[in-house]
Amino acid sequence: MSEITIDLAGKPVREVNQLLHGPLAGIERVSVLNPDGSHNLAVGVDAPVRVDIHGHAGYYAGGMNKQADIVIHGSASTGVAENMMSGTVRVKGFASNGAGASAHGGLLIIEGDAGLRCAISLKGGDIVVGGNVGSFSAFMAQAGHLVVCGDAGDALGDSLYEAVLYVRGSIKSLGADARIEPMGEADLRTLGDLLGRAGLDHDPASFKRIASARALYHWNADANQEY
Amino acid sequence: MCGIVGLLVKREALRPRLGELMVPMLIGMTERGPDSAGLAVFGTPVEAARRKINLYSGLTAEGADFNWQALGHEVGGTFGGAATIEAHGNHAILTVDTAPAAVRHWIHEHHPRLHILSTGRSMDLYKDIGTPTEVSDRYDFQHLQGTHLVGHTRMATESAVTPDRAHPFTAGEDFCLVHNGSLSNPNGIRRMLEPRGIHFDTDNDTEAACRFLEWRLREGDDLPTALQKGFDELDGFYTFLMGTQDELALIRDPFACKPAVVAETDDYVAIASEFRSLAHLPDIKHANVFEPAPEAMYVWKA
């Protein structure tokens, strides 16, 4: 197995991204030292490579990821794993706003808390948050799963489509058209699998299921804008 | 977009290094705010009866060649007492032992193009158009000393790029505020404050927030009470960082659209819009790094 280490101290992010976008020719693991909050670290990777970012990442780390397994040994700023297609992104610390926004596939694991608008417009990806999520999480989420092991903020799942949310802690408030539903056998299996892949041993039965009531799917002129 | 930085040192031994530690923070926020930069620095207060008036001559015909010594003599001659002036290009600190309101009025009358940056016992304020590097070099930020400071790099959205519309904004004495974001009701705030005799220097939205909060403090609110009224009255997007004689305070709007990150060690509290402005700080790898929550108040004592 071939491994390469890049120290980004005083160097542009392109040093890492051009390597990851080129022919990797047997390189299976890339370690990035001193990321120092740089933006766009390891974005647009389309290769089965392991990337370790040792420190705090800036905006959009692991964005558009395909196939790669990316681990951020620190916190991630806005838009981590935004529009991910496949592979995994794991954040060992906290993540800022818009984590996993519009991800189509893959698994995003945030071991700490996630900020506001986590999983906004999720399109099929899976997100497991070890801690809490901020307000407006899973806004207009269309497909995929958001698992929250801690608490959720205001307006969780507002205008939710077919994504399913599982929350272990408290929910400050649900958004329009989101509702708590009973956990079924399929939910327990799906959630057990996601928790297992995230390396968390919570009991799936301790979570609540939140899904769309589908009342907003069709315009109702009599609703008087109240949902 | 704009960049915010703040730094408070907890050990006396670090006070002489305040500027040196901060300059890379400010320059790190150049991409977020390349058109203007500024900062307010808090240090040992002058005697209780004295006031420091920070002045900017970049809008006068003489610019950086403004005759500051003559101004010092004029003020001394008019008001008596021991007026001193410490000038650096287009910036000067006039220290007086007269009621500062009278001196400020006299400056407005006799030197209307001179911009009064701030008044106070412990705060000095510098701001100008230019990149953060240019502004840092212009005023030798590297050698600033003190307990805490509040800095800003500006990418203007709500009003023109001019020195007086750069941040920090100040109101009253020893109070300043920097802002990343945009307010949607600054004119409503102005219409509420102006009949109360509160004068505005510019049409900038941030100035409305600054004058609103300072007005609340002057009316007797403590900082948390004033900030709570800010949450109630100020509408829009904001991360605000404020400085008082002995505090740094940070708040973010309920939607937290504008970023902030805090790093704290036994030696300092550092605040920036993004971590890349904190990455150079000593022992940062062991700092407690966190993102301040929306609608929460963070106040650090100097």
The answer to whether residues A171 and A223 belong to one domain is yes
Q: CA-to-CA distance for B92 and B83, rounded, in angstroms?
A: 12
Domain count, chain A: 2
Residue window 221-260, chain B: list those with CB within 8 Å of chain A.
254-257, 259
Q: Could you read off the pLDDT of B217-265 as tens digits, one per residue?
A: 999 999 999 999 999 999 999 999 999 999 999 999 999 999 999 999 9
The answer to whether residues A22 and A133 belong to one domain is no
Site from B5, B261, B275 to mutate, A interface, most A CB atoms within 10 angstroms: B275
Q: Could you read off the pLDDT of A84-128 as tens digits, one per residue?
A: 999 999 999 999 999 999 999 999 999 999 999 999 999 999 999
Contact between A14 and A41 (Cβ < 8 Å)? no
In a domain, A64, yes or no: no
In a domain, A48, yes or no: yes
In a domain, A16, yes or no: yes
Q: Which tokens go with B161?
A: 């790029």
* Cβ neighbours of B29 (radius 10 Å): 28
Whether chain B has a CB inside 8 Å of the CB on A132: the answer is no
The answer to whether residues A121 and A210 belong to one domain is yes
Q: Where in chain B is CATH 3.60.20.10?
A: 2-44+129-301
pLDDT at position B173, please? 96
**Residue from the list A36, A38, A56 with its beta carbon closest to the beta carbon of B289:** A56
Chain A residues lying within 8 Å of B293, measured CB to CB: 134
The answer to whether residues A135 and A32 belong to one domain is no
Q: Is B285 helix (H, G, I), strand (E, B) or coil?
A: helix
Average pLDDT, chain A: 96
Residue B108 has pLDDT above 80, yes or no: yes
For residue B118, which of B68, B177, B64, B182 has the smallest C-alpha distance? B177
pLDDT at position A227, please? 61
In a domain, A62, yes or no: no
Q: Could you read off the pLDDT of B260-282 as tens digits, one per residue?
A: 999 999 999 999 999 999 999 99
CB contact under 8 A, A77 and B278: no
Catalytic status, residue B210: no
Residue window 175-214, chain A: list those with CB within 8 Å of chain B.
none
Site from A11, A56, A75, A113 to mutate, B interface, most B CB atoms within 10 angstroms: A56
Question: Number of residue pairs across A and B with CB atoms under 8 Å?
Answer: 50
CB contact under 8 A, B279 and A135: no
Contact between A72 and A42 (Cβ < 8 Å)? no
CB contact under 8 A, B276 and A94: no
Q: CA-to-CA distance for B222 and A123, rounded, in angstroms?
A: 47
Q: Nearest CA of chain A to the CA of B176: how many Å?
A: 27
Percent residues over pLDDT 70 in chain B: 100
Contact between A106 and A86 (Cβ < 8 Å)? yes
Whether chain B has a CB inside 8 Å of the CB on A134: the answer is yes
Q: Where in chain B is CATH 3.30.70.100?
A: 46-121
Residue A25 has pLDDT above 90, yes or no: no
Q: Nearest CA of chain B to the CA of A27: how many Å?
A: 28
pLDDT at position A218, please? 86
The CATH T-level fold of domain B2-44+129-301 is Glutamine Phosphoribosylpyrophosphate, subunit 1, domain 1 (3.60.20)
For residue A215, which of A171, A189, A177 has the smallest C-alpha distance? A177
The answer to whether residues A169 and A138 belong to one domain is yes
CB contact under 8 A, A75 and B294: no
Phi-psi region of B65 (alpha: psi -120 to 50; beta: other; left: phi over 0): alpha
The answer to whether residues A44 and A115 belong to one domain is no
Give the per-residue SS3 of B121-186. Answer: CCEEEEEEECCHHHHHHHHCHHHCCCCEEEEEEECCCCCCCCHHHCCCEECCCCEEEEEEEEECCH
- The separation between the first and the last C-alpha atoms of chain A, rounded to the nearest angstrom, is 56
* CATH classification (class only), B46-121: alpha beta
B2, B176, B210, B257: the active-site residue = B2
Q: Nearest CA of chain A to the CA of B279: how many Å?
A: 5
CB contact under 8 A, A75 and B255: no
User: Which amino acid is located at B9 in the chain?
Assistant: V
Q: CA-to-CA distance for B6 and A35, rounded, in angstroms?
A: 22
Structural domain span for residue A9: 1-53
**Residue from the list B275, B293, B294 with its beta carbon closest to the beta carbon of A56:** B275
The answer to whether residues A32 and A97 belong to one domain is no
Q: CA-to-CA distance for B203 and B185, rounded, in angstroms?
A: 12
Q: Residue A166 is part of a domain; what is its CATH number?
A: 2.160.20.60
Average pLDDT, chain B: 96
Residue A226 has pLDDT above 80, yes or no: no
Q: Could you read off the pLDDT of B48-101 as tens digits, one per residue?
A: 999 999 999 999 999 999 999 999 999 999 998 789 999 999 999 999 998 899
